[in-house]
Structure formats: C-alpha cells, structure tokens
C-alpha cells in the first residue's frame, strides 16, 4: 500500500440515544442514509455482523470494509484497498467516538471529520 501512516480519534456530543446511535452505525440502510458521499455495494443483510463485507466507493477510490467486531456499543471495521487499517466506532447516550488508523494517500482525518459531521446532521434531521 502506498501512502503514509495516519491515525485520528474524535469524540463528539450529540442529541441522540444509545439505541439511535447503534441503529445508525450498524444498520446498512441507516449507514447509506447518512454516508451519502460513500456508496456501498448492495445485497447484504440489514444488520452488520462480524464477517460482513461492504465495498464503499468515494469517487474512483474503493475502500473495502470488513466487520471485525460488533458489540452493543462498538463496531470495528478492517479496511483495505484505499485505506489499509481499521475504523472503530464507540457510542453511548449523547456521544459517539471514531478512531481510525491506517496507511493511505487519502487525508484520513479530513474524511473522519466529514463523516462525524454527516452523522450529526443526519441525527438532527430525524
């Protein structure tokens, strides 16, 4: 993989219950609603479980996501292709945290910030 090693952790507060956040981060249809800038392949189960693979595309760049861990308040994706590393989400009542590490040519922290802001805006509109 070409690129540089990058890592970033962000935590934000938002007005959403633990259950709402779990649904937004583990249900494929919900992900597609707020991750409007990343299109996922279709034809999979509704709920993300370990072993589930998602192929996301941002423009011409493909990022493969494989669910490594799915717990009541945490989900972790192994990333490959456009980013080689992982992306982990944790949440509770009124907060969500995103931690990402990987090698990529993409600006990982910029994408992470955009993703969190998109989730926050989506939850506000609900």
Tens-digit pLDDT profile for residues 64-109:
999 999 999 999 999 999 999 999 999 999 999 999 999 999 899 9
3-class secondary structure per residue, the chain: CCCEEEEEEEEEECCCCHHHHHHHHHEHHHHHHHCCCCEECCCCCCECCCCCEEEEEECCEEEEEEEEEEECCEEEEEEEECCEEEEEEEEECCEEEEEEEEEECCCHHHHHHHHHHHHHHHHHHC
Q: pLDDT class for 44, splitting at 50, 70, 90? A: low
Domain 10-125 carries which CATH code? 3.30.530.20
Please tell me the predicted confidence (pLDDT) of residue 59: 78
What is the Cβ-side half-sphere exposure of residue 23, based on CA atoms within 13 angstroms?
A: 11
Q: What does the mean pLDDT of the chain come to?
A: 91
Higher-scoring residue by pLDDT: 1, 93: 93
pLDDT at 90: 98
| Window from 21-30, 36-45, 70-79, 92-101 with minimum mean pLDDT | 36-45
Domain ranges of the chain: 10-125
pTM for this model (two decimals): 0.91
């Amino acid at each position: 993989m070409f690129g540089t090693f990058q890592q970033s952790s962000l935590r934000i507060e938002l007005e959403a219950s633990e259950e709402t956040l779990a649904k937004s981060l583990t249900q494929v249809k919900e992900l597609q609603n707020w991750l409007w800038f990343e299109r996922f392949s279709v034809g999979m189960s509704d709920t993300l479980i370990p072993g589930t693979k998602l192929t996301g595309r941002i423009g011409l760049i493909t990022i493969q996501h494989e669910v490594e861990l799915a717990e009541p308040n945490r989900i972790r994706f192994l990333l490959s292709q456009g980013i080689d590393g992982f992306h982990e989400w944790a949440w509770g009542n009124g907060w969500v945290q995103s931690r990402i590490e990987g090698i990529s040519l993409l600006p990982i922290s910029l994408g992470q910030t955009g993703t969190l802001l998109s989730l926050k805006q989506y939850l506000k509109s609900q």
